[in-house]
Amino acid sequence: MHTLMMVSGGLALLAAFCFIGRRTSGPNLLRAARVFIPVWAIASVINLTVGVVSAGYTIAQELPILVVVFGVPATAALLIIRFTAKE
């Protein structure tokens, strides 16, 4: 359940970045998606760290979850970058 909440939170954060990117001076959707990826990578690593330190999981147990938690929103951002760059 926590993984689903993190992925949903990542997609919501991407939507917020894109919304703000659209509202700033000129259409900066491409820049917003590019900035989102490192921000989300940091948040995903923090989530991994909390899982290892607080929840007692091993790094080997948390790595596949990191791939999903980071990968789904990052893939959505990369798709936005790919299709926005063609405009």
pLDDT score of 24:
80
Q: What is the pTM of this model?
A: 0.90
Average pLDDT, consecutive stretches of 10 residues, N- to C-terminus, the chain (87 residues): 95 95 78 94 96 93 96 96 79
CA of 26: how far to CAs of 21, 22, 43, in Å? 8, 7, 28
CB burial class (10 A; 0-12, 13-18, 19+) of residue 43?
middle
